[in-house]
Structure 1
Amino acid sequence: MESKKNINATAKEKKLLKALHNNPSKVILKRVNALFFIIFALFLILVGRLYQMQIRNKAFYEEKLVTSGTLSTLTEGTARGQIYDAKNQPLVTNKAIQTITFTRGNTVTADEMRQIAIKLVTIIPDSVKTDTLTERDKKDFFLASPENLAMVQARLTAKEKIDKKTGEKLPESKLYAKYIEKVTDKEITYNADTELAAKLFKRMNATSNFATTIIASGTFTAAQQAVLAENERTLNGIGVGTTWEREYTVSPLTSIIGTVTSEKTGIPLEVLDDYLAKGYSLNDRVGTSYLEKGYEEILHGKNTVKQVTVDKNGNVTNEKTLTKGKKGKNIKLTIDPEFQEGVQNILRNNFEMMQAEGYATYSDGAYAVVMNPTTGEIYAMAGISHDMATDDIKNDVLGTIQNGFVPGSVVKMGTITAGWENGVLSGNQVLDDQPIEIQGSAVKQSWFTRGQVTPISAVQALEYSSNTYMIQTALNILGQPYQRGMGIFTSRLEESFQKMRGTYAEYGLGAATGIDMPGESKGFKGEEPTAANYLDESFGQYDTYTPLQLAQYAATIANDGKRVAPHIVEGIYGNNTDGSLGTLEKKIESKTLNTVAIDLENVKLLQQGMFQVTHGGNMATGKNIMENASVNINAKTGTSETFKLNENGMPVYLSVNNVVAYAPSENPQIAIGVMVPNTIIREDGETTHANQYITRDIVNLYNTMYKFK
């Protein structure tokens, strides 16, 4: 069967070959005719399609041509969350501001933007806020006119248009720089209207393709808004919207609120990558300091995301909201403004008394921080700074976290702790309070022994504020117990410095406190590890600390050795429908940073020593604190002696006057750090006790307002 098929195929091929051989033109003609028929059929189909598109469905395709185009995604910021005090009163709000916006298409020319700006000037009030102008900005506006550009181009010689090195024509960017040089001062001497138009043009010209920028803000009447709407076709890309500005209540706390960037500034360059990774846009306004920065992601809110359609001519034809924006959440502080103001007044009243008594001439001011020792909530951050040239005083809340001063004897609980941690003290150990005589150094002795040898315990060392007990402890940590007339080997000096500072840091001295906002100082650690500085460190005469660090130090002792992070924000709140403070969404919880590495029995000894400071015998150093106090107060005072030269070149001896305290003694509910630096020491050795009275007055104020439990 297969063989038969092959025979038939061969026969057909032979027949075809014979036909081609006998009449080849006839076969080719048939094929050409078939090809022409196919081409003609395709042509008819094409004509029919063109008829459908250009005549029958012309309107449909014209509309499709206009509406089709490029899709672009835009991100717009929303109103920022607000900040409230503990009484629900706003410290920071948002003020709505009317704006004129410009959305830039991808084909708009400089001349078109120039004409839009000139048209806008005839509509909007001249009081609107917009950009400032440089000389270059004015020249850019001048050259945006094609006529002006052509006129200036004609001022260039053929030689000026050629690159001297290559002989080629200069690129347009370099030519434009030469055009700028050719514009005269007279040509950019603008009247007020033209200058405003130039300012608007500057913002428009700086807008990226498909982006929307605020080019002016102010108050626009209904009539002006109506005119803008009527001229929408000739004001291509112009719209009317609203934005917000931060409004800050006048308060001593304003300085710790911080600041927010403008929309023009946007995200600072140094943190740009971090914010972009979190979904921010380049022109988003962000907090740059203190609470605004510390709680940025809470306050910022959710941006609006829109999809913009741009036609073939670069005109924006449609906007579609993909994600609806949401106002940022609010934060509420732990600080009652009435208590804060009360502490401010206590500082001011006591400092004014110091001025009247002649103690405050060289003082930097006075500072106090009040916090809850178990939760870390800050109840007051009060400060006043003193201008020594004018003798004026003003509020300085930031000084509580940024200004460092020598602490004096308040560090002595830390020094005793270092002795316990390093195994050179045991419990309430007794040491001889005695004059310390070291080769090459002046004799160091305590104020109360007058050169005599007096055995005292650790608790008594705190009550009497013994310097020599601390020096001997420091020498023991160094591995060189005190001997009269001894020299000091320095091979372990740096290591011993680190040990002592490490213990202090467990209390928050010389360390970050963990406060919930950026900007705090850790104080200053001296950089000369000499033997003299090491011994001075042991009784608070070398490194410097902030008032907040002193308050955390007191709180740690009151809290049985547990150091908690101070926080100024009580909670995060939502928004009511009118944008005001809503319900609590998250409470800021207490955060324990560490526990001091000593037994509770030893912590109790420190607490007992602080009780004796205010309740002890004649040699107790803080008894003024308990004068007219409403509850028992535990405290440790601190002074240090230094000097300044007066205008006559004579030395004036000065002292810091500090206190760390907590109350009530039996059930601590507040911890306090007070610093009053550089008060005058009189010739009879007397100096102010304002630090002690400030401490007492703060405790009494708290008890009056809230009643200790």
Structure 2
Amino acid sequence: MAREKKRKRAQLPVRLNILFFIVFLLFSVLILQLGVVQILNGEEFQEEIDRTIQDTTKIPVPRGKIYDRNHKPVVDNEPVYSITYTPPKGVQAEDRLEVAESLAELISMETKTLTERNKKEYWYLLNKEEAESRVSDEEAADMSNAEYYNTVLDRITEEEISGFSEQEKEVIAIKNELDKAYSLTPQIVKNDGVTAEEYARVAENLDKLPGINATTDWERQYPYGSTFNSLLGSITTRQQGIPAENEDYYMTRGYSRNDRVGKSGLEEQYEDVLRGRKEQIQYTTDKSGRLIDTETVVEGQRGKDLVLTIDMEFQEKVDTIVQEELLTAIKKHPTMNRHMDDALAVVMDPQTGELLAVSGQTYDREENEFVNTAHKTLYDAHVPGSVVKGATILSGLESGVIKPGEYIHDSPIRIGNDPPKGSWSSNLGTLDDIGALRRSSNVYMFYIALRMGGEYRYPFPNGSSTSFDTGAWQEMRNYFRQFGLGTDTGIDYPYEATGLQGSSENRPGNFMDYAIGQYDTYTTMQLAQYVSTIANDGYRVRPHFVKGIHEPIPSLDKVGPLYKSINTDVLNRVEMDQSYIDRVQEGFRQVFQSPGGTGYSYFGDKSYNPAGKTGTAENEFYEDGQQIYTENLSLVGYAPFDEPEIAFAVIVPRTGDTNNQHPINHLIGERILDTYFELKGERDEEAAE
């Protein structure tokens, strides 16, 4: 027994030693691990403890301004008070509701546009448990999250959302704007009609309104009112943001969804330079979301400024001329001119392509007022009439079917059983190519068309038929396109029509109509480019609205340094002998300056040496099943003849009978040229002083 006890006492220290050894090993491992953590990974773990989150917010800047050629502001930015919301990460609907309730005590909000869904979403947040109890667990099991949420809203009754007070409706309206915000992207909550008092109240309580800021925004301002505004275009609102159909395009170029962008006109065409460079601010927060620091990493810069080729003083005068003559024509013959509502005019420098004035006026008979529709000079194409005869003569000369100075007797022509086709007067006599322009002979143009189609006999025997080469259509259209008729002008604008070709029936009579401008349709801008090409010795230049792009400067009344100049762009030189172009130029001069010329009574006594071509075209259309007969009146011209500095085109569609008509096309053209040279003289005198 004693020996057994002694043996057990001897074994106890061995076990304790083993236990102590194990404990020692464990502590050694622990100390080693602590050493590794402290020495090798200490810095990494400390960084994790101190880890912060950095996010960059892009703050929109004002758009560039637009000036006329004399540096007068045409589109400006007007500063306005603005309340914005920039949601932090992880914000929930309940958080936005709390902000909306607090903000509603400081500002008023328009509530007329609230929808039933807006009200239901608000009721749901206030009565979440009650609303969700209306959908059973069995129903919810088969629904997606979106389906479940929509079902919950559907079961909120109209009675439950019908008793909201005006204050509650304002909360709903504010929350609706807060819900549109994207993380770290400022969303406009209110910038229309924010008063100074509201701005001050919000600014004083920003610490109680997480994400809310009181700042200044801008709105487009138009010093000239509606003048030229249909061509300037418009921009989207903050609420509209970027167009949904082009979202990918804009988002890949650094836009936010609520950015304002140009959606039409020059605002759209020059979006890339007008948009500016957003200010980028880097926000640093800790793991709990507490803001630690802010830093501006990219300085913002408002958009670059555009200087237009348009002379706004001249533009206003041209608009007045077009309005006055259109109204006079309508009042003078209200029944005959019951379909005449529009008058269009384009004025440009034929040598540079700079547009000096572009006017479109539409008379609203119900409101008894004019609407600026200058975009119609690019959008609307009309049958132009005899103004295109310069291109027809040149087609005949260049194709060789007529010779310079060749005489043709003007007498009606009949093709097969068709009615005779003749000129506007039966007493035009025998004319050469220049005389045919001066007197506006249809028959001379008919012979050019028939000869290009394969009929070379002279005189063409009445009543006979001819073998007609339909390829002549394309040949003459190719000549016309060299002047910009029937093709793009190349203008710096998002859209322009190119006109329509007449019916596909390739009959000789139709081709004869084409030769006198009674078949295909053209825009006023195309006609302006056409006459400019003739005035410019056959060089077709691209018309353009913008003269230069300038860097922005803080000054409110000065244009900054030039960033890019928009120079003259020659699209093509017509492939025709210069001597042929000289003959057409002389014909145009005689139209305005020689007795017997169709424009002589309006331009014959002018000192500025004008040239041009008149036109009238039959314009038939159907209204309520009844065929209506009207006429399009047109006019193109330029001056001075020897060194052109201004060219113009006028179209007045759907007028009444020319024989009893107010000569609106001639009067608009005459007054445009008179006004241009009067204004030039006044400015020359001022400069001399």
Please tell me the TM-score bracket, short chain as reference. 0.7 to 0.9
In the alignment, the residues of structure 2 paired with residue 502 and residue 646 of structure 1 have an alpha-carbon distance, to the nearest angstrom, of 34
| Amino acid of the structure 2 residue aligned with 1:183 | I
Relative to the length of structure 1, the TM-score reads: 0.85
1:230-309 to 2 correspondences below 5 Å: 231-249=205-223, 250-309=225-284
Q: What is aligned with 2:537? A: 560
Q: Hey, what's the Cα distance between the residues in 2 that align with 1:36 and 1:340?
A: 98
Alignment of 1:316-465 (within 5 A): 316-358=291-333, 360-387=337-364, 393-449=370-426, 454-465=429-440
Whether 1:174 and 2:147 are equivalent positions in the alignment is yes
Q: How does 1:598-617 map to 2 (within 5 A)?
A: 598-617=576-595
- Look up the match of 1:160: 139
Partner of residue 71 from structure 1, selected from 54, 64, 73: 54
Partner of 2:86: 103
Deviation, structure 1 residue 530: 3.0
* Counterparts of 2:82 and 2:344, CA distance in 1: 43
User: Is the alpha carbon distance of 1:428 and 1:280 closer, same or farther for their aligned partners in structure 2, counting shifts above 3 Å?
Assistant: farther
CA displacement at 1:306 relative to structure 2: 2.5
Classify 1:397/1:229 alpha carbon distance in 2 versus 1 (closer, same or farther; 3 Å): closer
Q: Cα offset for 1:328?
A: 0.6
Hey, what does 1:522 align to over in structure 2? 498
Equivalent of 2:632 in 656, 666, 680: 656
Partner of 2:27: 40
> 2:96 aligned with 1:135, yes or no?
no
- Equivalent in the alignment of 1:641: 618
SS of residue matched to 1:459: helix
Aligned: 1:510 with 2:486: yes
Which residue, out of 579, 582, 592, partners 2:570? 592
1:288-334 CA-partner distances (Å, limit 9, x unpaired): 11110111111111112233334434455443322111011111222
The letter for the 1-side match of 2:61 is T
User: CA contact under 8 A between 1:81 and 1:298: conserved in structure 2?
Assistant: yes
2: CA distance, partners of 1:306 / 1:602:
65
What is the TM-score normalised by the length of structure 2?
A: 0.87
Residue 342 of structure 1 deviates from its aligned partner by 1.7
Q: Give 1:455 shift.
A: 4.1
**Please, which moves more after superposition, 288-297 or 184-193?**
184-193
Aligned to 2:66: 83
Provide the residue aligned with 1:535 in structure 2: 512
Displacement after TM superposition at 1:258 (Å) = 0.4
Aligned counterpart for 1:666 among listed residues 642, 648, 670 = 642
Cα offset, 1:407, TM superposition:
0.7
Q: Report what 1:112 is aligned to.
A: 95
Alpha-carbon separation, structure 1, partners of 2:537 and 2:310: 25
Q: Which of 197-206 and 273-282 deviates more?
A: 273-282
Alignment partners' CA distance in 1, 2:154 and 2:541: 64
Distance 1:226 1:670, change over 3 A: closer
Unaligned runs of 5+ residues in structure 1 are 1-24, 53-59, 164-169
Equivalent position amino acid for 1:591 in 2: D
Mark the CA change 1:473 to 1:230 in structure 2 (over 3 Å): closer, same or farther: closer
- Residues 540, 570 of structure 2: 8 Å contact kept: yes
State the AA in 2 paired with 1:410: V
Map Cα deviations across residues 574-620 of structure 1 (whole Å, 9 max, x no partner).
333245433341332111111111011111011011112122343x2
The answer to whether 1:193 aligns with 2:167 is yes
Whole-Å separation in 1 of the counterparts to 2:119 and 2:35: 57
Larger CA deviation: 86-95 vs 319-328: 86-95
* CA RMSD between the two structures: 3.4
Is contact 2:277-2:300 (8 Å) kept?
yes
37 and 247 in structure 1: CA distance in 2 versus 1, 3 angstrom threshold? same
Q: CA deviation at 1:541?
A: 0.6
After superposition, the Cα gap between the structure-2 partners of 1:41 and 1:162, relative to the gap in structure 1 and judged at 3 Å, is closer
Contact 2:61 2:301 in 1 (8 A): yes
2:675 aligns with 701
Letter in 2 for 1:589: N
Q: Which piece of structure 1 moves more, 319-328 or 340-349?
A: 340-349
Counterpart Cα distance in 2 of 1:30 and 1:487: 131
Q: Any conservation in 1 of the 2:618–2:629 contact (CA below 8 Å)?
A: yes
1:130 touches 1:217 (CA, 8 Å); kept in 2? no
Tell me if structure 2 keeps the 8 A contact 1:376–1:565.
yes
Residue 223 of structure 1 and its aligned partner are, at CA, apart by 6.8
Contact 1:303–1:325 under 8 Å retained in 2: yes
CA contact (8 A) 1:129 1:216 kept: no
In the alignment, the residues of structure 1 paired with residue 267 and residue 296 of structure 2 have an alpha-carbon distance, to the nearest angstrom, of 28
How much has 1:379 moved relative to structure 2?
1.2
* Aligned-residue offset at 1:211: 3.4
In structure 2, distance between residues paired with 1:196 and 1:202: 10
Shift of 1:479: 2.2
Q: Percent identity?
A: 33
| Cα distance change on mapping 1:535 and 1:387 into 2, 3 Å | farther
1:455–1:31 Cα change, 3 Å: farther
Change (3 A) 1:678 1:107: closer
Who is 2:42 aligned against? none
1:331 alignment partner, SS class: strand
Q: Deviations over 1:425-483 (max 9, x none)?
A: 33333334332121131111223445x9x543211111121112111211222223354
Tell me the equivalent position of 1:690: 664
| Partner secondary structure for residue 631 of structure 2 | strand
SS of the aligned residue for 2:382 comes to coil
| Distance 1:239-1:614 versus aligned 2 partners, 3 A rule | closer
SS where residue 476 of structure 1 aligns? helix
CA–CA distance in 2 between the matches of 1:229 and 1:654?
64
Q: How many residue pairs get matched?
A: 659
SS of the aligned residue for 2:386 comes to helix
Is the 8 Å Cα contact of residues 65 and 73 (structure 2) preserved in structure 1?
Answer: yes
Which residue in the other structure is 1:15 paired with? none
1:470 lines up with 2:445 in the alignment:
yes
Separation of aligned partners in 1, 2:64 and 2:105: 36
**The residue matched to 1:672 in structure 2 has which SS?**
strand
Residue 5 of structure 2 is matched in structure 1 by none
Moved more, 673-682 or 129-138: 129-138
Where in structure 2 are there 5+ consecutive unaligned residues? 1-11, 40-44, 685-689
- Structure 1 residue 374: deviation in Å? 0.3
Post-superposition offset of 1:487: 2.6
Matches of 2:390 and 2:590, distance apart in 1: 13
CA 1:474 to 1:51, structure 2 compared with 1: closer, same or farther past 3 Å?
closer
Aligned mates of 2:574, 2:193 — CA distance in 1: 59
